[in-house]
Amino acid sequence: MESLPLEIMTEILLHLPPCTMKDARLTCRTFNEILAKPTFRVLADFTDLDYAQRTLEDIVSDFSRRPRSVWSPSCSVPPKLPVTESFLLALDTALHGAKPARPGPQDPKLEMQGSRATRLDIQSPDGTFKDDEVTKQYLRRVMFRYALYLSYAYDRGEDAPQAWVFKAGLRGEKAKAAV
């Protein structure tokens, strides 16, 4: 596989079924770099909160697409929901793709301090983010709406990917203290 041009390898990997992308990303760094952005494609769209709300309402209108979820798309975001580092990494990956692994400290795109983002190098795909609109509450809303989307779209029996948002016990005391 290493002798294949990156464009051909990308084309091959992008034809994988979505349910296999997670395992393929764990296979090697090259696969992770290629598949990271497509894995979180929907998350990047959810940075537009109006689009996120419309998407959730469309899914809810088709009851067959939400076999397990009881959450309404109009429900409010829990005020003390922690914005986790894993979510920030997923959002950065959704917007910028995976970075090649480098030795030494990584250069985070977004750092949170208090209720505002202190270091911004975060851009939406269409370049509409402004420094003053990326607050912790904004990120909570994006994360919560994305978790609702995952709960509507998820249909396998194992642990649901959005469970950490809805089950306080899964977040742990450290996450609660960070808010």
Highest-scoring range by mean pLDDT, 70-74, 128-132, 144-148: 144-148
Q: Quick one: average pLDDT of 51-55?
A: 87
Strand runs labelled E in the chain: 110-113, 116-120
User: Could you identify the residue written with the tokens 């990584």?
Assistant: 106
Cβ neighbours around 93 below 10 Å, total: 19
Question: How confident is residue 91, by pLDDT bands cut at 50, 70 and 90?
Answer: confident
Decide if pLDDT at 93 tops 50. Answer: yes
All residues at 6 or more sequence positions from 51 whose CB lies less than 8 Å from its CB, including other chains = 45
- What's the mean pLDDT in 99-124? 47
pTM above 0.95, yes or no: no
Burial classification of residue 20, based on how many CB atoms lie within 10 Å of its CB (0-12 exposed, 13-18 middle, 19 or more buried):
exposed
Query: Which two three-digit tokens encode residue 144?
Result: 């919560």
Contact 84, 168 (CB under 8 A): no
- Distant-in-sequence, close-in-space partners of 154: CB < 8 Å, separation ≥ 6: 68, 160, 161, 162
